[in-house]
Structure 1
Amino acid sequence: MMIDRSSIALFLVLSFLVGVLDASAGDSDPRYRTCVAQCEKTGCVGERCFPHCKFPSDGVASDGPWYMQEPLYLKWKQWDCESDCRYNCMIDREKEREALGDGPVKYHGKWPFKRVFGIQEPASVAFSAFNLAMHFHGWLSFFILLYYNLPLKQDKKAYYEFASLWHIYGLLAMNSWFWSAVFHSRDVDLTEKLDYSSAVALLGYSLLLTILRSFNVRDEAARVMVAAPLLAFTTTHILFLNFYSLDYGWNMKVCVVMGVAQLLIWAIWAGRTHHPSRWKLWVVDSLMPMLYGMPQLFHLPAYGGVSLGTMPSFEHLSSLRRLSSSL
């Protein structure tokens, strides 16, 4: 009966989240698109003009000599004509929406933001860096626990059969949060694809790890049977984003489904095994869907709220990981 109720709850939560997700509504707004198109022609948004709008997006003047190329500091910042037009049109459009009493919407897959000291989204960068630090701390603590505090086999390997899987998770998590910090400090095509690809790879693998650990899958053949479809789907989705279409809405739905699914699986596993940290995990489970759906958290970007929320959730999962080695 418990499994039936859990399955129903999982279905309802995932259906609700998929239904409410609506990415990139802002950049499909006709007024925003008109503003960007006009800015790219005139180089101005209202009274604000951008001198480097006379350069194309690759930073090289089409009919000028080398000394007419865009300055190096502008190339480094990657704030070319297109990005400046998008940013200022977004700011103006959000002011109009606020005056009308409308809430913020996403632009190109991201909530409205403000540049600070050359950093595009300082709150998201800070929270991503904190997540990176906490994941490194968790991975290092797990490594010390296995190889220095617990007995080892004669070949110096850990007795815990899921150790290698957790090590891979730690490396993928640190890689994902590193590129998240880079992307939110400087949003260009390369950093965007690296961030999205790293996040999808982490979510896909962590869902696989969640299934293997919660169902205690130890047989190698069974692990391969479980891993093959999940890894195939994750790889296909990454290739789709990079080489076919960076569909923000579809990617958000995929990521939320994988993320919420593993949180619920962990919650059910913790309840059935009467894990000491189950109450902490249940609290995190109840908060994370709200962080995904909230457009702003204390005037911070929603991604910053999600990043902030994942820091305590990782600590709780770390406690599950450390204690699960004895189960």
Structure 2
Amino acid sequence: MKEPLYLKWKQWECESDCRYACMIDREKEREERGEEPIKYHGKWPFKRVLGIQEPASVAFSALNLAMHLHGWLSFVNLLYYNLPLNQDKKAYYEFASLCHVYAILAMNSWFWSIVFHTREVDLTESLDSSSAVALLGYSLILSILRSFNVRDEAARVMVAAPFLAFFTTHILYLNFYNLDYGWNMKVCAIMGVAQFLVWAIWAGVTRHPSRWKLWTVVFGSGLAMLLEIYDFPPHYGVFDAHSLWHGTTVPLTFLWWSFIRDDAEIRTLDFIKKIK
């Protein structure tokens, strides 16, 4: 029997499709008996939409990607079209290049999140995990460089080098030795908490004019991480804890880029005042 196109392009072969149908039928029987959903091969029973394995996570990941793209473009527009530039037509904001790299890594991470939640196979899981580690690791480096106002390129390399070595080793470990989900979650959680603490303390100590935005992002992200810890079955077969975690980061991403724009504008105008 010829398979539908929506199954082909996501590589849902007959065996996987039959396994999915059996899982759904079994869950219907459990629901009729008043029993709670259970995990199958470590995964909650999600209802596919157009062949998409986890539709809510895909939708929220796409929104996060769009929010990062919007934030980055608005940041670029502010830097190069609304704020003064130096004689070389470069931005005065010393951390502009770091923010550009961050934007690329963020959009890359959410892209692979979309792919992974659309169809989970070993390759997509590896790409999703690796890109997430790269983003979190770089975010930690960015928080340290900005908080300690490290502007010298050589000093930046010295600060970033040991972190980059660890993150690279961890990614290689996941891809070529053992894709350990539990261990990776611990590493990511530590990196996340570390950068939250750095940002929160720095915002308070320096009394940054937009510190409330940063504190909101830090506090909101911390609460959102609880969704990764408190796992529960998907409501209506679609919305589970992981997908809701993706959903909570959408408004936080908007606020985060708003803070970056504020920081760029404040530092640029301060620098202009000093040179006049």
TM-score range for the pair, normalised by the shorter chain length: 0.7 to 0.9
| Higher CA-based Rg | 1
Aligned residue for 1:290?
A: 226
Aligned residue for 1:312?
A: 251
Aligned residue for 2:107?
A: 174
Q: Any idea what the Cα deviations from partners look like across 1:269-291, whole Å, max 9, x if unmatched?
A: 22222233425235414422222
CA distance in 2, matches of 1:262, 1:199: 15
Distance 1:171 1:140, change over 3 A: same
CA distance in 2, matches of 1:244, 1:90: 31
Q: Structure 2 counterpart of 1:291, which letter? A: L
Distance 1:111 1:233, change over 3 A: farther
TM-score, normalized by length of structure 2? 0.81
Alignment of 1:103-114 (within 5 A): 107-108=41-42, 110-114=43-47
CA distance in 2, matches of 1:284, 1:317: 11
The answer as to whether partners of 1:131 and 1:310 remain within 8 angstroms in 2 is: yes
Larger relative contact order (CA 8 Å, sep ≥ 6) = 2
Structure 2 residue runs without a partner (length 5+)? 268-276
CA distance in 2, matches of 1:273, 1:106: 50
TM-score, normalized by length of structure 1? 0.70
Aligned residue for 2:56?
A: 123
Distance 1:286 1:71, change over 3 A: closer
Is 1:141 the counterpart of 2:87? The answer is no
Secondary structure class of the residue paired with 2:9:
helix
The answer as to whether partners of 2:27 and 2:37 remain within 8 angstroms in 1 is: no
Aligned residue for 1:27?
A: none
The answer as to whether partners of 1:176 and 1:199 remain within 8 angstroms in 2 is: yes
Aligned residue for 1:263?
A: 196
CA distance in 1, matches of 2:258, 2:194: 19
Aligned residue for 2:217?
A: 281
Q: Percent identity?
A: 64
Which of 224, 234, 239 matches 2:167? 234
Aligned residue for 2:271?
A: none
Moved more, 295-304 or 215-224: 295-304
Distance 1:97 1:241, change over 3 A: farther
Secondary structure class of the residue paired with 1:193:
helix
Aligned residue for 1:244?
A: 177
Q: CA deviation at 1:97?
A: 10
The answer as to whether partners of 1:104 and 1:295 remain within 8 angstroms in 2 is: no
CA distance in 2, matches of 1:188, 1:286: 29
Which of 256, 263, 266 matches 1:324? 263
Q: Structure 2 counterpart of 1:78, which letter? A: Q
Q: CA deviation at 1:247?
A: 1.0
The answer as to whether partners of 1:206 and 1:262 remain within 8 angstroms in 2 is: yes
CA distance in 2, matches of 1:98, 1:293: 29
Distance 1:71 1:88, change over 3 A: closer
Is 1:303 the counterpart of 2:242? The answer is yes
